[in-house]
Amino acid sequence: MQNFLSSWSQAATISIGFFWMALWAFMLGYFVSSLIQLTVTRSAMQKTMGKDGPKSIALGSFFGFISSSCSFAALATTKSLFKKGAGLAPSMAFLLASTNLVIELGMVIAVFLGWQFVVGEYVGGVLLILLTWLLIKITRPKRLIEQARERLDDGADDEETKGQSLKETLSSSKGWESISKKFVMEWKMVWKDVLIGFTVAGVIASFVPNAFFEALFIGSDTENASNPAFYYVLAQTVVAPFAAFFTFIGSMGNIPLAAVLFSQGVTFAGVMAFIFSDLVVLPVLRINAKYYGWKMALYLAFIMFSAIVISAIGMHYALVALDALPDSSSAIQSTDREFFKVNYQLFLNLGFIGLTAVLAYFYIRQRAKKSEQSTSRSLKEKIMLGLTSLCALWLTVGLIIAALI
């Protein structure tokens, strides 16, 4: 019993410590994302992405890069773009870029995994887009595209938003109210994923033995685990998306878990495949099926899975050739107790907490001007809320145990 309580307190400390280390990156990323969303109109995106050519792919990737990193928000925006006439490949470029090329994701990866994984995220993200485009061109799913468009054609049109200039946004009270609204919306979309993700990372780091990772990710127990034989690299890269498939964790929430996997000997390719797999998890598959039908949803999952495996392995051996493959010691070790040191992260967190307080003030002020109608929660939202409540209770009790031990 004593060992269990000790592991529980350790898990809670690790979860909170991981979140503290990444907090400034989250807040900076969402602030920048909010500014971009206000100054770039969606109509500009839609008018330039109607064909599956290089220009449309590049524009779809760019618009995804400057948009939200929330997988579920990206799915909704992608559906809107596709429904209004954007090609399938540019729509997928937008979706992949919005979950793999965004600023805040790179910041969090840098905190937990190091520069090689940041390079892998961005270069690999571009490879994902190019490979998905190539696979779509090879397979030519014309009938699936027609069926998906018919399914989405309900005669409704999405609300257009008017863009603001950056100067206008930052120099007016109304602009800061708009920023605060976007900022809060970003957090509302991801806080459940983030809370679950960091809690799961702490639980795995404290309770799951190394033998589990060695059995699941073949080759992680070899003498040269960071760069084993090709067979092991391939096996781990294929297994990683399946390991991620049944999670509810989005792209921002699974980074601390990816750090745990890397510290346990999983290869660079396996970890990158796990990070890239936020768009082939079960909730995403269900949402795509709701939007486009099951045939299209399974088709998209298949081409993204193929692109993930090829991209991750390609990035792995590119770093091997450059003698730049990271060692697992570069990942944040779960046994590290100095999460709350007086260092640059402390001052960055305090600075961005202050900025968040300012945004919270403007959000509360503009919300007080108009009443918001409450909406009923879906079954998925109720399940997620229940899971987050359990996570919050787990962390609270764990911290109390840590204080008493």
Q: Which residues contact 175 (CB under 8 A, 6 or more apart)?
A: 38, 164, 168, 169
pLDDT at 319 over 80: yes
Instruction: Give the helix ranges, DSSP H, for 40-154.
Output: 42-47, 54-65, 71-83, 88-100, 103-112, 115-139, 142-152
pLDDT at 160 over 50: no
pLDDT value of residue 133 = 95
In the chain, what's the furthest Cα-to-Cα distance?
63
d(CA 213, CA 262): 10
| CB distance 189 to 70 below 8 Å | yes
Q: Which residues contact 231 (CB under 8 A, 6 or more apart)?
A: 219
pTM over 0.75: no
| Average pLDDT value for residue range 69-74 | 66
Q: Where are the domains of the chain?
A: 2-151+166-404
pLDDT value of residue 382 = 83
pLDDT value of residue 41 = 60
pLDDT at 157 over 70: no
Sign of the alpha-carbon dihedral angle for 136, 142, 147, 148: positive
pLDDT at 172 over 50: yes
Least confident of 114-123, 140-149, 165-174, 345-354: 165-174
What percent of the chain clears pLDDT 90, i.e. is strictly above it? 31
pLDDT at 252 over 90: no
Question: Which class for 43: exposed (0-12), middle (13-18), buried (19 or more C-beta within 10 A)?
Answer: middle
Q: Label residue 225 by pLDDT band (50, 70, 90).
A: low
Q: Which residues contact 185 (CB under 8 A, 6 or more apart)?
A: none
Please, how many CA atoms are within 13 Å of residue 148, restricted to the half-sphere of its CB? 30
Tokens 């034989």, located at residue: 229
Q: Which two tokens stand for residue 319?
A: 């770093």
pLDDT value of residue 351 = 94
Least confident of 82-86, 155-159, 276-280, 322-326: 155-159
d(CA 23, CA 195): 12
| CB distance 49 to 123 below 8 Å | no
d(CA 119, CA 29): 17
d(CA 10, CA 279): 31
pLDDT value of residue 161 = 44
Tokens 């559906």, located at residue: 79
d(CA 393, CA 388): 9
Least confident of 28-37, 50-59, 126-135, 352-361: 28-37
Average pLDDT, the chain: 82
Apex CA 291: angle with CA 271 and CA 35, to 5°? Answer: 65
pLDDT value of residue 308 = 95
pLDDT at 295 over 60: yes
pLDDT value of residue 246 = 62
d(CA 367, CA 374): 13
Q: Label residue 156 by pLDDT band (50, 70, 90).
A: very low
Q: Which residue has the higher pLDDT, 138 or 66?
A: 138
Q: Label residue 159 by pLDDT band (50, 70, 90).
A: very low
* Secondary structure of residue 25 in the 3-state scheme: helix
d(CA 14, CA 336): 8
In 196-351, at which residue ranges do the beta strands (DSSP E only) sit? none
| Average pLDDT value for residue range 27-31 | 79
CA distances from 114 to 29, 108, 314 (A): 17, 10, 19
